Chains A and B, each alone.
Chain A
């Protein structure tokens, strides 16, 4: 780690009871910024509602969604989607200036809402939009922001958010707190938290507010939007089966064994950072802290040591199979099944075994 461990001394815990500033006690409730682009809610916002619901219940407060967008039914429908996923209420700001995401109007809109309604905790997705907005809002409000959290909890005594994320280098996590500032802000990457059940019978209150800006006061203009061609891009975050390879695959040519198994299983191919940096597979296939977070039903890891930065990206998989020739590799601490051996001979055998199983299933109809 850099600055944090060397100079940021751990806050004294347990000894003295922490007393929150009188002025800050007025801040109540948990908010989730509901991100959407081109008419669809980003799933990360719904995942955050699921997690926010748990924390709100622990603190005994309400969970609110913040919906900002152009006037119309679509924007309003996002409030209901938030209710279906656990929110008690939504703050709604409708304005044509909010049609496309732009930093200036969104920062003003969200900052104004926070100042007026005073939430104690504010979550945003760690997406390009969420990070742009969160960093701007936190600086404008002069409060703390914890990036890319992988675990969220609350300390009930101090009424304080416990936001944890991996530390640099070592296989450790650190918990970051924002004690005497409100709101306590954090971002979380897509797929890190579980998607809550959608319950369309739920309802909630909508509190409407105004943006109070005119187009001529906004300096940045959107000239056009060029959508990505989705078909060619790997879609790891939502894949049901993923076969990943690490540096233990030794050579780029050996990665074919990963592709072969993936082909038989109809799976996506994933990789660790060193493999991506060596150019064996494209960046979109990197799983981990600085890559994609995935939660497939089955994750097969070959030649992967299981460093914390990789683990946080795939830990939530239902079943993990690890193939590694080192019986002490950390990945065996959190995989469900392990095969100790050479990936170059195990992988082809595993591919055959799955093939045989599939052939039998086909026969059985």
Chain B
């Protein structure tokens, strides 16, 4: 069983501060983390490895510093790590990202055939949930999104049964491997890194692939050139024509403020009063 887990390095959103005047984010010094959703994918892969044996390869496309995310994954127990990094990838949207990742997976497959590809549900920065489906289509693999549980895996017959979250319920699907699974969050918990794996992570020679090593010849499919979407404008949301009416009254006591608020609101918006009075019955 050979599982490739795609992980992305993202800024730690909990530590991001917004510039009070320009409204842009202050990136300097913001630590990076492994996209939290991807840890569920990695843990699921490690569990399959525990049960069936095999290898787990982690893969990321990103700047050289993304190597740190791969080392983290090795410390949790991944066997191999590949960083795909090249200036031609800069500015990739999801279509170009899926092309680069799929090309790299084809190269990985040459060393050891890939049975499953796992991704997270989505990232916390781009937040599109589009890369998983994209990679699956590029590799012509069966796509299973929002998987909450892997029910069974039959390696001999190359069959897998999963539970997939859909609107209003759970679909139980049976398909063939190789397939690509986007793993839903919250159904497992990342294990602790063992001391041995932490040492291994520190010394592990991450494979660093440029576009050639990743088997990419046609660079018009990568980076800005290979990205149909362009960001044409960044803007602040339009404030309401009038700001909130701040409720004030003589005493400014909570009780009086509340009564003043209701009186004002019910006068201006009679339908709210109606909606609330419905509940008297």
Contact = CB atoms under 8 A, between A and B. Distances in A.
Interface string A217-235: 0011111111110100000
A352 B258 CA distance: 9
Contacts of B16: 169
Interface in B161-200: 161, 163-176, 186
A350 B145 contact: no
Interface stretch (A85-93, A202-210, A356-364): A356-364
Contacts of A283: 186
Nearest to B258: A353
A333 B239 contact: yes
Interface stretch (A47-55, A64-72, A74-82, A131-139): A131-139
A195 interface: no
Given A1-B125, A171-B236, A340-B246, A177 B229 contact: yes
A227 B234 contact: no
Interface of A is mostly: mixed
Contact-size category for A:
35 or more
B275 A172 contact: no
Interface in B70-124: 90-95, 98, 124
Nearest to B151: A223
Interface string A281-321: 00100000110000001100000000010010000001111
A131 B271 CA distance: 37
Interface stretch (B38-46, B126-134, B209-217): B126-134
B146 A319 contact: no
A301 to B, nearest CB: 11
Given A223-B173, A358-B277, A1 B244 contact: no
Given A8-B230, A147-B128, A103 B236 contact: no
A338 interface: yes
A292 B153 CA distance: 34
A332 B172 contact: no
Contacts of B164: 128
Nearest to A296: B275
Nearest to B174: A221
Contacts of B172: 222-226
A135 B182 CA distance: 12
Contacts of A17: none
A114 B130 CA distance: 19
A348 interface: yes
Contacts of A272: none
A321 B279 CA distance: 19
A297 B134 CA distance: 39
Contacts of A252: none
Contact of B264 (A100, A228, A337): A337
A338 B244 CA distance: 6
Interface string B56-74: 0000000000000000000
B228 A144 contact: yes
B262 to A, nearest CB: 5
A321 B130 contact: no
B31 to A, nearest CB: 14
A167 to B, nearest CB: 6
Contacts of A222: 171-173
A216 interface: no
Contacts of B174: 220-221, 223
B228 A178 contact: yes
Contact of B230 (A11, A128, A224): A11
25 contacts: A1-B25, A1-B125, A6-B90, A7-B223, A104-B142, A128-B166, A136-B143, A143-B228, A145-B130, A169-B18, A170-B19, A170-B24, A172-B24, A176-B230, A180-B228, A223-B174, A228-B170, A319-B269, A320-B244, A334-B237, A336-B265, A339-B247, A345-B254, A358-B279, A359-B280
Interface of B: 10-11, 13, 16, 18-19, 23-25, 90-95, 98, 124-134, 136-138, 142-146, 161, 163-176, 186, 223-224, 227-237, 239-240, 243-247, 252-255, 257-259, 261-262, 264-265, 269, 271-272, 275-277, 279-281
Given A168-B13, A265-B279, A321-B261, 10 more contacts: A3-B91, A11-B232, A103-B145, A136-B133, A168-B25, A174-B233, A228-B168, A297-B271, A349-B254, A352-B255
